[in-house]
Amino acid sequence: MNIDGVNNGIVIDHIEAGKGIRIYEQLQLNKLDCSVAIIQNVASEKYGKKDIIKVDQDIPLDFDVLGYMDPHITVNHVKDGKLASKVHLELPETLTNVIRCKNPRCITSVEQEIKHIFKLVDREKKIYRCAYCDVEHKEY
């Protein structure tokens, strides 16, 4: 399967197989004018299978959102057809306005314009707690 390489843009690599489309939607890549490719179920030595997204434009990315959705992701920035930088994502310590607290007793359920903040309390188990009410957020 041949997909053109990126000249100036980004390659989001090592996405867990099956998550590519969700990340595409989260980043609203459908709104871009440039070439965008989602490649699913690519053979991966490390993970068996993976998804890849290629975007032929250097767009700003929210690493917190991406890191939360899949901490195994690698983001490659390509300039003039060459790898300019590589970022290995991880679970962010704090998430702001990425997820919302589901506790109906939490102040965030009623207060307008409030920042929805979560703190990472267990990296291994990927547990985040609401910074206001301490209730654990259930998996994405």
Q: Which is nearer to other proteins, 116 or 126 (CB)?
A: 116
Rounded to an integer, what distance in angstroms lies between the CA atom of residue 62 and that of residue 27?
9
Q: How far is C-alpha 20 from the chain's CA centre? A: 9
For other proteins, which residue of 35, 44, 96, 109 counts as binding (CB under 8 A)? 109
Give the three-state DSSP class for 36. strand
134 binds other proteins (CB under 8 A): yes
Q: Which is nearer to other proteins, 46 or 105 (CB)?
A: 105
Q: Which is nearer to other proteins, 72 or 119 (CB)?
A: 119
113 binds other proteins (CB under 8 A): yes
Rounded to an integer, what distance in angstroms lies between the CA atom of residue 75 and that of residue 91?
14
24 binds other proteins (CB under 8 A): no
12 binds other proteins (CB under 8 A): no
What is the residue whose two structure tokens read 């291994």? Answer: 124
Size of the site for other proteins (CB under 8 A): 18
Sign of CA dihedral 84, 40, 63, 92: negative
The 67-106 site mask, x for binding other proteins (CB under 8 A), equals ------------------------------------x-xx
Angle (nearest 5°) at CA 94 between 19 and 133: 105
Report yes or no: 104 and 130 within 8 Å, Cβ to Cβ: no
Binding site for other proteins (CB under 8 A): 103, 105-115, 130-135
